[in-house]
Amino acid sequence: MKRRTFEVEAGATLSQTLVAELKETPAEVDRRVLAGAVYVDGRRVKDPRARLRAGSRVSVVLEAAGSSTAATRAPSSFTLEVLFEDREVLVVNKPPGLPAQPTPDGEESLLDLASRHLGRPAGLVHRLDRETSGVTVFGKSKAATSALAAAFREGRAKKEYVAVVGPGFPAQGVIDTPLQKDPSRSGRWRALDSGNGLTAVTRFERLTDGPTCQVRLVPETGRTHQLRAHLASLGFPIVGDTLYGGAPGARCLLHARRLEVDGKAWEAPMPADFPGS
């Protein structure tokens, strides 16, 4: 990985500062910013228009995995499905297989598609796992993004998911087992009553029964991998979720069906790869 770090001498926008420092075109530096390759005072900044102050320390990842972070990406195989848009928010249906935000290797992301649609950086406030599909909301202005972020942080964003699991799933119930990182496998969480885990609560309801079951999931907390780890703790990992021991499948069959924020609700249609859809 190649990186350049420097101190800002005079206040300007991030894009203007990078053009002057790197001797690149505005388009090239904007691609670096949108790819998540620029950090200001240790924090990633993805808005080329962000104002910098004199004395700020900027770090730019110039190359990752042997490729320039300013390189033009190949045309995306994904299209943006807009569910709702007004002056403040953009709501889309994330397809499975697309990362929510730029990756270190410069892979296309949902944030890239949303930003391209708007013609400016979209405000990312929540993320779905790569294989998870469904409702995702972006802010269209700094004020809207801040308001959305506060709603998620304060628990005012209500989410509903649908997952596919094996047969015999209980009719309904609540899982309130705390979550902690699994020391035996990187990137995985486990649900345990013992230890100093993070409080996690999931309500569930079986929607269909048969060789596989569709289940409705309502997380009352927003922990990393909460739904995946909670279902695995019951002995019903999500079909296709190889990290948590799910039955073989083309992808982890988890879909964010509904999102409500401060009384406004949006729904995404069930994906075609779900049984019965």
Domains of the chain: 2-68 (3.10.290.10), 82-153 (3.30.2350.10), 158-267 (3.30.2350.10)
Report the pLDDT value the prediction gives residue 116, as an integer from 0 to 100.
86
- The pLDDT value recorded for residue 139 is 96
Q: For 179-219, how does the pLDDT look when each residue is reduced to its tens digit (9 = 90+)?
A: 999 999 989 999 999 878 999 999 999 999 999 999 999 99
What pLDDT is recorded for position 66? 56
Distance CA 155, CA 157 (A): 6
Please tell me the predicted confidence (pLDDT) of residue 43: 85
Question: How remote is the C-alpha of 238 from its chain's centroid?
Answer: 19
pTM of the predicted model as reported, rounded to 2 decimal places: 0.76
Listed residue (221, 233, 277) closest to 253, CA to CA? 277
Catalytic residue positions?
Answer: 129
In 3D, which of 231, 263, 110, 102 has the Cα closest to residue 162? Answer: 231
Q: What pLDDT does 106 receive?
A: 61
Q: Supply the pLDDT for residue 107.
A: 73
- Position 112 scores a pLDDT of 86
Distance from C-alpha of 117 to C-alpha of 79, rounded to nearest angstrom = 10
- 65, 23 Cβ separation under 8 angstroms: no
Which residues pair with residue 91 across a beta bridge?
84, 137
> Residues, the chain, total?
277
Q: Residue 263 region, left (φ>0) first, then alpha (ψ -120 to 50), else beta?
A: left
Q: State the DSSP H helix or E strand holding residue 96, giving kind and residue range, or none if neither.
A: none
With a cut of 50, which residues of the chain have pLDDT below it? none
pLDDT of residue 157: 96
CB within 8 Å of 196: residues ≥ 6 apart: 180
